[in-house]
Amino acid sequence: MKFFIDTANLKEIDEARSLGVLDGVTTNPSLISKESVSNKKEIHQHYISICKRLKNNENVSAEVISTNYTDMIQEGEELAFLHPKIVVKIPMIKDGIKAIKYFYNKKIKTNCTLIFSTGQALLAAKAGASYVSPFIGRLDDVSYNGLNLIREIKNVYENYDIKTKILAASIRHSLHIIECSKIGVYAVTSPINVIYSLLNHPLTDIGLEKFIKDFNKKIK
């Protein structure tokens, strides 16, 4: 399973890279707004800085702000032409589906975001999305089981050998990542602190402390 990091922060991307587990990056407008960028030029420059941190087969999803077809096409093309590692992130709305089809025909990769149902995932795949981003945590927040959605989309895609990749998003804790790996999704995209939380087990800490204590008792 691929580990994407859900951030626009260059330090966090570098941290995930130095941990040795980075396979790609996803951003969204809220994440971009947390960085020191205040206009389109700076945002584009920021995306290029992210791209420069990525290896050959890795990519970064950059989301359009527009919500109508014509503007989405213009904005998406601008993003795609910035760097070959950019995947255009498009919201799951009617014009978004049309835009995904347009980009598919142009061989520009897309990530259809804000997926909360299997029907939406099916439609995005039909239009030719390279990735879909179902939001697990936000579904859990409203008392739906986000992981069940991931299972259902995976089953449906397998029924028809659909090539669209599931990039499980809105990851809130380590169990989301573990369960996604059991389901067999292509990738999870998560904040760096959730990746770090995979490290934790009390028996590891107790065991390590004992190993070192035993060793130091005997060996000078």
From residue 26 to residue 55, the character string flagging contacts with ligand G3P as x (rule: CB under 6 A) and all else as - is x-x---------------------------
Q: How far is the CB of 209 from ligand G3P (least distance, A)?
A: 34
Asked if 137 interacts with ligand G3P (CB under 6 A), we say yes
Angle (CA) 99 137 92, round 5°: 10
- Which tokens in the block code for residue 32? 């971009």
Buried b (16+ CB within 10 A) or exposed e, 36-50: ebeeeeebbebbeeb
**Maximum C-alpha span of the chain:** 73
Instruction: Return d(Cα 220, Cα 201) in angstroms, integer.
Output: 29
120 contributes a contact to ligand G3P by CB under 6 A: no
| 126 lines the binding site for ligand G3P (CB under 6 A) | no
- Quick one: which segment of 135-143, 177-185, 198-206, 210-218 binds ligand G3P (CB under 6 A)? 135-143
Task: Specify burial of residue 150 (Cβ count, 10 A radius: 0-12, 13-18, 19+).
Answer: buried
User: Does 2 help bind ligand G3P (rule: CB under 6 A)?
Assistant: no
Q: Which is nearer to ligand G3P, 7 or 118 (CB)?
A: 7
* CA–CA separation, 128 and 107 (whole Å): 10
Active site residue 107: no
Figure out which of the listed residues 53, 98, 138, 151 binds ligand G3P, where binding follows CB under 6 A. Answer: 138
Per CB under 6 A, contacts with ligand G3P among 158-197 are 169-170, 189
Choose the binding region for ligand G3P from 35-43, 118-126, 129-137, 180-188 (rule: CB under 6 A).
Answer: 129-137
Q: How many CB atoms are located within 10 Å of the residue 108 CB?
A: 19
* Distant-in-sequence, close-in-space partners of 184: CB < 8 Å, separation ≥ 6: 1, 154
- Among the listed residues 2, 41, 85, 89, the single catalytic one is 89
> What amino acid positions are annotated as catalytic residues?
89
Contact positions vs ligand G3P (CB under 6 A): 6, 26, 28, 133, 135, 137-138, 169-170, 189
